Amino acid sequence: MLLFCMAILIACQTDRPKNKDKKNKREIQLKTEKPDSIRIDKTGLYGIYRGVEFADTGDVSRRDVAHRFSNRVADTLGKYLKAQFKAGNYLSIDFQKTKITTAGMDLKDSVVYCITMVFKSEKKCDASTGIEHCGSWSQDEITSRYFLKKRLVELKKSLQKINVGKPDVHFYKTAEKFQEYWIQFKHKDYQRDCGK
């Protein structure tokens, strides 16, 4: 686990290549390595995506390949938090210690996208059993933030059907202007009694 964490830190802090030889070497490396991986255990989640940002798939909703990694992370987190809750291990995500980074984001090439989330032990009714996110891969920060806030309001409204209490929302922005909200909450199928 320690080696994996070190590899993520190195990969997430790597700057874009400065010349063509380094860029070609990076492209070869990206093609031969596994494009993404997610590890999760009792301490937290560690995820890294290496690959294209966008792909011309013909389906606009499936173009943002790199950002869809967040969907995989959210799905993995949600299943893990629910399973741990059922087993009597009450966890939540420490959003203050969460780190999200991008390297090489330019909306046309490849990118390295890293997510590290640390868990903390909680009392039963302070744990989280649901997770959602909404983000923007656009570098137009002002327009992006406007639409992102609008999507957040819509998402929080839709979560009212399955959420108990007030959700915990945290905003992240990378140096390359990737922006994302992460929301953890108490799922009513698991924590219905916690709203009383």
The proportion of the chain whose per-residue pLDDT surpasses 70, expressed as a percent, equals: 70
Instruction: Report whether pLDDT(59) > 80.
Output: no
pLDDT of residue 64: 64
Pairwise CA distance, residues 36 & 44, whole Å: 17
Going by DSSP bridges, is the β-strand pair 130-136/179-187 parallel, antiparallel, or unpaired?
Answer: antiparallel
| C-alpha–C-alpha distance, residues 38 and 15, integer Å | 22
pLDDT tops 60 at residue 30: no
Report pLDDT for 117.
Answer: 97
Q: What is the pLDDT of residues 83-99, one digit of tens each?
A: 999 999 999 999 999 99
Q: What is the pLDDT of residues 138-184, one digit of tens each?
A: 656 666 777 888 999 999 999 999 999 999 999 999 888 888 999 99
